[in-house]
Amino acid sequence: MNYWPLLGVATVVIGFVLRVNPVLVVVIAGLVSGLAAGMSPGDLLAMLGSSFVSNRALLLMVMTLPVIGLLEHCGLRERARDWIAGFRGLTLTRFLASYLGLRQVLSMLGLTNVAGHAQTVRPLVAPMSEAAAERTVGTLERGQRHEVAAMAAATDNIGLFFGEDVFIALGAVLLIQGFFAQNDIELQPLAIALWALPTAIAAFLIHVLRLRHFQRQLERAARKRVDAKGEGAC
């Protein structure tokens, strides 16, 4: 057995210890392993090119985080908070209910990747939710901010989960069809999607009630803080 290609593993370890750019380390490690295995430079370049082409969709996902980080560094979250704060009468329940409806409708049309935790919840929906909540209950405590952000993430999850089942071309519908087929029950994807529609509507209504209950909890906590300050002043 030829153990020389394992030099690529040593290259990765040394590169990470020295804190070199991870992408550069991985590429160099691949070249080292390929050359140690007896591959020609032309074969190595062909392998790198084919790997890049076959995984270009993954590259877009990897680039999402640095792009979002750059936008946040430039003040995206602060701008989103200020924009929402300018809407009169907008409460936390109304804002997240609107986002839930939009997320469900887009998922029903198969547009599941236009929103998500990295793309929209962290940079936009979470700070907008905080601003909407502060319009109603005043300044939020640290723990309450985390709870609002968690509720925003949960809203995105529910909208995606119960909305995508209505789109017949997604894997969830095909998985349901395959399960019933194994039990000798033949169902068409369109029938499964239509039966998922009442569930999506019920999920929307139930989560709106949860949002309303959560907002009332924040309001009660705000009133308690005000009462405690009044008693302390006396």
Residue 108: name the closest of 203, 200, 179, 174 by CA. 200
pLDDT in tens, 116-155: 888 889 888 999 999 999 888 888 888 999 999 999 999 9
pLDDT band, very low/low/confident/very high, at 98 (cuts 50, 70, 90): very high
Residues 213, 149, 113: CA angle, nearest 5 degrees: 110
Alpha-carbon distances of 92 from 117, 126, 150, 152, rounded to whole Å: 18, 11, 13, 10
pLDDT in tens, 59-97: 666 667 777 777 778 888 888 888 887 787 889 999 999
What are the boundaries of each domain within the chain? 4-54, 76-233
What is the pLDDT, as a whole number, of residue 233?
Answer: 60
Q: Strand, helix or coil at 122?
A: helix
pLDDT band, very low/low/confident/very high, at 4 (cuts 50, 70, 90): confident
Q: Which H/E stretch holds residue 19?
A: none
Rounded average pLDDT over 9-26: 87
pTM of the shown model: 0.69
pLDDT at 226 over 80: no
Q: Could you give the angle at which helices 56-73 and 41-54 cross, rounded to 10 degrees?
A: 70
* Long-range CB contacts (within 8 A, 24+) of 165-169: 165/192, 165/193, 165/196, 165/199, 165/200, 166/107, 166/108, 166/193, 166/196, 166/197, 166/200, 167/107, 167/108, 167/109, 167/110, 167/193, 168/192, 168/193, 169/110
Q: How far apart are CA 175 and CA 181, in angstroms?
A: 10
For the chain, what percent of residues have pLDDT higher than 90? 30
- Among the listed ranges 102-111, 167-176, 182-191, 210-219, which one has the minimum average pLDDT value? 167-176
Q: How far apart are CA 57 and CA 228, in angstroms?
A: 54
Q: How far apart are CA 114 and CA 125, in angstroms?
A: 13
- The rounded Cα 209 to chain-centroid distance in angstroms is 23
- DSSP secondary-structure letter at 89? T
